Structure 1
């Protein structure tokens, strides 16, 4: 399994235009003073097929050559982990084989109680052929484990994974176009079989996405309106119905683009990840649960985030 990114690999990615130079380090005091916020992000990147075609470059070196000077063909896609607190990057492969193909999407990312990272990958159907099922990639220890998810209908998709505090893996299942109904499911860590969970009420007539669990046992999710407006919702096993806490906003402006992720730190601080519509890049935000106010903490060039445990 190729977990580490060598200097040669980093140089290849920089020259191919797939890694943004100058990784974002912690300059915000909120993050710097909160040791429990060890955030890891996941994304994808193209990888040159010929590792000898591009010279080795140190990660700290800048490179200003024109893209046209790079003749290496790029047709493989790599799975990349990036750590916000250190700026380190890891290209993930299994015995040299990339774990993500060019016709696939990352639609779930979380960490289990033991520190294992779990990625949900779903193929995108571009023809009449039936797409293969969503698969889960487990990144932990000395090997990569792949598990096919079973129990989904043809028009359903698994996303918004959450590793719970009691060691389970749960997620949200909805239609592939993102429309309701949405179902909360338990995912068997040994077989990949999903089964409905009834302990927590999910508003299945709303566009629900993301799951987060705080140390006090409360669960949170986000509701997406027709125009992208996003509300924070509290869920709980003892609640008859979800509690809408507040509409999310930044600097007094309503958040208008849903969220990529919602996570909760060991101290109970809710964190959102995403970007306003037409206003990249993605960033990590802290959320005031009562008011819905979001405070930008740090930009992060990844697709989804999770809390690194262990």
Structure 2
């Protein structure tokens, strides 16, 4: 009887997703996932939007895959259609007279310590920009989804461009202006989606003409990201929330090294950057033909990138 109830519950949960699930994971695949957890990836892609979608109070639809990094094999696939947010409160709007088409994009995917996957998205409309957090609950292969709208921005053109998990259900965000500089650091409450009005971390100011993206954190708590200045080449930067400048009292940013591939500086930004559980830094970026995306290893000290394999994703994160 207990077995029957578990099957019925699984069927009901899958149906409630309004999703397409590619099932049939073999026992061998499940065992492989347990043995090589650090090599199993979430791959996140955007789904086509419906013309009737409410881009303010509904999250964009996403395709969520789990894949084996070593073989590239897809282990599971879920399509999560547009989802109503649980906090549909009013945000600042700014109607634009000259506007072509609504669109949405994924800006980051992270996994919290409790296993929750959080996906940040930005939707552009004639009334301004709307930022959302889409998150999973439960199994990586058949998750239940929830959605929240980001609240508290004073301007309608502020966009969440990257995320990082902090203690106490807080998220560190890189915030852009319509997706471009100037950028700034902000923190928000994951449980409410609201941006904190005060900066209690002494976050550093960022050069107003530089592009920043791809937040991630290593096993020692060091935070990494990419920065692109006037020369147009992405450079690794790092900071630690415990290391502050003596004069300003703000957290110090260290500029490490430009990213290179096959002996040449990278001439375009990464799509994503993340650490695996064994401490290896991986990048998601265009392949050599600039037609597809691929996963690369990244040497933190030298900035050298090594091609691992083609990998179809807009954002990625390790389980």
CA distance in 1, matches of 2:214, 2:169: 18
- Which residue of 1 is the match for residue 239 of structure 2? 235
1:257–1:276: 8 Å Cα contact kept in structure 2?
no
CA distance in 2, matches of 1:192, 1:143: 18
- Which residue of 1 is the match for residue 204 of structure 2? 201
* CA deviation after TM superposition for structure 1 residue 133, in Å: 2.4
Map 1:244-263 to 2 at 5 A.
Answer: 244-263=255-274
* CA deviation after TM superposition for structure 1 residue 211, in Å: 0.7
- Which residue of 2 is the match for residue 291 of structure 1? 302
1:164–1:213: 8 Å Cα contact kept in structure 2?
no
- Which residue of 1 is the match for residue 56 of structure 2? none
Q: Secondary structure at the match of 1:36?
A: helix
Q: 1:81 aligns with which of 64, 73, 76?
A: 64
CA distance in 2, matches of 1:197, 1:278: 44
Map 1:123-162 to 2 at 5 A.
Answer: 123-125=123-125, 129-131=126-128, 133-141=130-138, 143-152=144-153, 153-162=155-164
Map 1:45-84 to 2 at 5 A.
Answer: 45-46=47-48, 78-84=61-67
Q: 2:42 aligns with which of 40, 45, 48?
A: 40
Whether 1:93 and 2:47 are equivalent positions in the alignment is: no
- Which residue of 2 is the match for residue 189 of structure 1? 190
RMSD over aligned CA atoms reads: 3.3
* CA deviation after TM superposition for structure 1 residue 216, in Å: 0.5
Q: 2:214 aligns with which of 210, 217, 222?
A: 210
What are the ranges of 5 or more consecutive residues in structure 1 without an aligned counterpart? Answer: 10-32, 49-76
The change in CA–CA distance for 1:102 and 1:203 in structure 2 (over 3 A counts) is closer
* CA deviation after TM superposition for structure 1 residue 171, in Å: 1.3
The change in CA–CA distance for 1:293 and 1:239 in structure 2 (over 3 A counts) is farther
* CA deviation after TM superposition for structure 1 residue 165, in Å: 6.9
The change in CA–CA distance for 1:94 and 1:247 in structure 2 (over 3 A counts) is closer
* CA deviation after TM superposition for structure 1 residue 135, in Å: 1.5
* CA deviation after TM superposition for structure 1 residue 154, in Å: 1.5
The change in CA–CA distance for 1:83 and 1:102 in structure 2 (over 3 A counts) is farther
Map 1:4-19 to 2 at 5 A.
Answer: 5-6=20-21
Q: 1:2 aligns with which of 17, 26, 47?
A: 17
* CA deviation after TM superposition for structure 1 residue 115, in Å: 1.0
CA distance in 2, matches of 1:185, 1:95: 25
1:228–1:256: 8 Å Cα contact kept in structure 2?
yes
What are the ranges of 5 or more consecutive residues in structure 2 without an aligned counterpart? Answer: 1-15, 24-34, 51-59, 85-100, 246-251
More relative contact order in 1 or in 2 (CA 8 Å, sep 6+)? 1
The change in CA–CA distance for 1:163 and 1:291 in structure 2 (over 3 A counts) is same
Q: Secondary structure at the match of 1:154?
A: coil
CA distance in 1, matches of 2:211, 2:117: 26
CA distance in 1, matches of 2:301, 2:45: 31
Q: Deviations over 1:168-225 (max 9, x none)?
A: 3221112114112x22222212211112453443534332111111110111111113
* CA deviation after TM superposition for structure 1 residue 34, in Å: 6.6
The change in CA–CA distance for 1:177 and 1:121 in structure 2 (over 3 A counts) is closer
* CA deviation after TM superposition for structure 1 residue 35, in Å: 4.6
CA distance in 2, matches of 1:286, 1:251: 12
TM-score (norm: length of structure 2)? 0.69
1:162–1:171: 8 Å Cα contact kept in structure 2?
yes
* CA deviation after TM superposition for structure 1 residue 231, in Å: 0.5
Q: 1:302 aligns with which of 305, 313, 317?
A: 313
